[in-house]
Every structure is written in structure tokens, then in C-alpha cells.
Amino acid sequence: MEEVAKDNPRAASVPFIYTQMPVVGMSPEVLDRFIVGNDPDTGKPVIEEIMDILTKPVKGTKSASGAPTAEKAAPAQLFLKPDTEDNLQALFYEKGWTDGSPIILPTEERVKKMLAGTCAAPDDIVVESFKFDTMETFKHTVSNIAVIAVMAGAKPEYFPVILAIASTRQPALMGSTTAFGTMVLVNGPIRNEIGMNSGIGAFSPINKANSVIGRAWSLMSLCQGQAIPNKTFWSSQGNNYTYNNMCTAENEEKSVWVPFHVTRGHKADESIVSIFRGWAMLSTSGAASHRPLGEELNIQLAVMPPLNSSATIIMDPLVAKNLKENEGFKTKQDFTKWMSENIKIPAGQYWKTDQIDMLVASEAYKGVEPYASWKKLPEDALIAPYTKPENINIIVVGGAISPLFLTSNYSYAGSASIDKWRAKK
């Protein structure tokens, strides 16, 4: 049985010091008390730990030249020893390679079948990443990713999508203390070829392709050591979206607008995967109200002050149809431009949002516009925070049964070609 990756030591080789939480929004006086106070992990004064780390040598071994070096991990095994399925399932979890749910054990035969789903060679490098648990750069080969695809339950025909996701270098799990969520969107011919769901219940657990492709992304992050509590993973509550990362395809057939990947410069007949991430996702409980749909969407977006003008709206085909045929928005760009000009919120509401205070206020103090001018406004003055229409993403997903939509502050993180990884016919 092929091993997933290098051994996964639970202790990082670089020392970490913890302060009390939260730090966002705290006054300098409170933060100062955190520094002179005790480390919540060790119970020792934080300032003393800092001085010890800065003034005492790092524990390690000596190199051939006699100089001290950090201790190195043992060489990775290529195969695990034979054992019972229950014991191997437990071992994979203990190593930090799974989410705790059962996996398909990656035997040599299964991995070989997975590799047949791509034109790439097993030793080709898909991506280089920083492995947070061992604090070193790690090269992920096609073979490494094939092991993870097997574990997630993927079919070989899904494998090019999983390789494309890996190539984006975007992690499914973030080390932030906040509850980052993620989303995978697939466009192009491969959606239908592998049976992805873009219609009824697209985000529900009823479709194998959506389910296992999304899960494979999380398993990749786990195998990279990105989900070790108090070591590399800090999310106070986590986010259950990351179990399969809202993996879906766009319903291009029922959309009245061009597909998302075309708006990002790709050709309609290209198969493309796109990645999104953010914090908040709001669901409408009934879009068929007396007000226009555009106004309904504005109300929801106004309660989520954006970073970098970013938002993502996932709408049923009926919503897109209504916006085009009844409200006059001929293209996605027409609608995003209108939202950019018409979504307005009080300046006080904007600046009192934690993430804005933490990540945008510094730009205002440096004189960056429009933030510097917004910072000087009275709290009740209205501002239009979605200054970049191109950062508002419109995605059409659903079964055209009810005019519902999801609004979010998710931002677009990038796209990658799936065709690059497909097996030659």
C-alpha cells in the first residue's frame, strides 16, 4: 500500500508562542496585557518565552561541518505494512491524512488505475507547497495526488479535475482563527462527461462527482499538515462547508448569460476549475417578493462589507432569467456594474466590521483611496464599497425550480485548466 506523503509529526520544528485571544479590535492596553500575561498553552509569561527563544540556541543535531542543524524527519516509506482494514483506517487518521470519515484504502492497484485517468506521468510535479507541520517545501507529484483521489473515492475520469484543483496552490483549509469557507466551480464540457450536478440539489450530498472531488481537496490540505489544531489550524469554530468545499458545476445550459469561465477570459469549450473563498454565505428564503430581485440582492450584500470589493452571488437560472428579461440586465457585467453603483452602506457600519477594521483601516491611515476619504466621513454618510464591478462574481447553479440565490463575500482566488491533465483519447 502506497503511503500518502511524508510522515506527519504532530510537533512543528519552529517554535510557536500563543497569546490570549481575541486580538482583533483590542486596545493597545489590552494587547500589552496579553504580552506580559501567560501563554494559554504553557501557562508561562509570553514575554519570557519570547526572550528565551531569541536568546537560547535551537535544539537540534550537528551537520557534517559540526554546525547545529534542525532535526530531520526520517525518510518516507513507499509502502505500508499489510494490516487489517480497521487498523489501516485508524492509522491513516492518526497520521493526520483523513477527516475521520472512512476512506478507500489506496492500494498499488487502485492508484495505478487512477493514474490512467491523466496524460501526465506519475512523477510529474503538480505543485510545490510549504508543508506547515514539518516547515519545509514539499513537491506533490501526480502519484501523490492519485493516492489522495483514491482515498476520497474518485473515479479515474474525475482525476483531471482534482489535479487542476491541486495546481491552483489554493488550500481548502486555512490556518486563520476565522471560519474560512471554500468553493469549487467546474465549467466546460467535462461537467457533463463525468456527471457533475449543476441542477437540482447541486450543493446537496446526492452526487458522487461533486462529493468526492470536493472532499479530495480537503484531504490534500490534511496531508499537507494544514489542519493540526493549535499547530497549523486555528479556526475557532471551523466551517463545515470545507467537508466538500461547496463543489459544483455551473448550469451553463439553463443560464441566460455566458458561463463564469468565459467572463474570466477562457473559451466556452475549455474545461476549467475555479476556486473561491470567504467567510459569509447568506441564503434567501424567498426571492419572489414585491421588490425587484436586484434590490433584494443589494439588501443582502449591504450587510457584508467587502474586502477588495469582492462578492459572489450563486443564483438559480430563474433568477438570472428574471434579471435579464424583466429587469433589463443583458449581461452579467451589466448587473455587476449596477450593483457597484447602487449598493450603499453607512460608513460607521463599514468601519466597525472586524475584518474591515483589521485589514482595511491600515490602508486608510496610509492614505490609500477611497479608504482614506471614507475614514473621514461621518458614521451616517453612505458609501458604495463595491468599487470594482469585476470583483463581483455571478454564478448560475440550480434546477430552475425556485428563484432562490446565495449571496456571499467570497472572492475569486483563481482558475486552472482541466484539459491540461486529461488522458489523451
Q: What local confidence, expressed as pLDDT, does residue 68 receive?
A: 36
The answer to whether residue 62 is domain-embedded is no
| 57-71, 78-92, 107-121, 360-374, range with the lowest pLDDT | 57-71
Structurally, how many domains does the chain consist of? 1
Identify the pLDDT of residue 65.
36
Distance (Å, whole) CA 285 – CA 270: 35
For position 12, what pLDDT does the model report? Answer: 43
The per-residue pLDDT for 30 is 78
Report if residue 121 sits inside a domain.
yes
Evaluate whether residue 71 is within a structural domain.
no
Q: Assess whether pLDDT exceeds 60 at residue 298.
A: yes
Q: Is the per-residue pLDDT at 261 higher than 90?
A: yes
Distance from C-alpha of 54 to C-alpha of 77, rounded to nearest angstrom:
36
SS3 168: coil
**CB distance 45 to 36 below 8 Å:** yes
Q: Which of 30-34, 86-90, 240-244 has the highest average model confidence (pLDDT)?
A: 86-90
Q: What is the mean pLDDT of residues 233-237?
A: 79
pLDDT for residue 230 is more than 80: no
- Please compute the mean of the pLDDT values over residues 188-199 and round it to a whole number: 98
According to DSSP, residue 237 is labeled: S
Q: Tell which residue, 128, 114, 119, has the closest CA to residue 156.
A: 114
Could you tell me the CA-to-CA distances from 154 to 151, 162, 317 in Å, in that order? 8, 9, 29
Question: How does residue 34 score in pLDDT terms, banded at 50, 70 and 90?
Answer: confident
- How large is the average pLDDT for residues 298-309? 80
pLDDT at 4 (0 to 100):
39
Q: What is the pLDDT of residue 54?
A: 83
- Amino acid at the residue 13: S
Compute the average pLDDT of residues 97-107. Answer: 94
Q: Is residue 328 part of a domain?
A: yes
Task: Say if 53 falls within a structural domain.
Answer: no
- 63 occurs within a structural domain: no
Range of the domain at 388: 85-421
Percent above pLDDT 90 for the chain: 55
> Does 6 fall in a domain?
no
pLDDT surpasses 80 at 40: no
Q: Is the pLDDT of residue 286 over 90?
A: no
Of 28-42, 309-323, 339-353, the one with minimum mean pLDDT is 28-42
- Cβ of 169: how many Cβ atoms within 10 Å? 16
Q: Average pLDDT, whole number, for the chain?
A: 85
What is the C-alpha separation between 335 and 245, in angstroms, rounded? 27
- At residue 317, the pLDDT reads 96
User: Which three cell numbers mark 119?
Assistant: 496524460
3-state DSSP: the chain helix, strand, coil percent, rounded to 5?
Answer: 35, 15, 50
Instruction: Kindly state whether residue 350 falls inside one of the protein's structural domains.
Output: yes
State pLDDT tens for residues 56-75.
876 654 433 333 333 444 44
pLDDT at site 107: 95
Determine how many CB atoms are found less than 10 A away from the CB of residue 53.
13
Please check the confidence at residue 198 and state whether its pLDDT lies above 50.
Answer: yes
| Residue of 51 and 112 predicted with greater confidence | 112
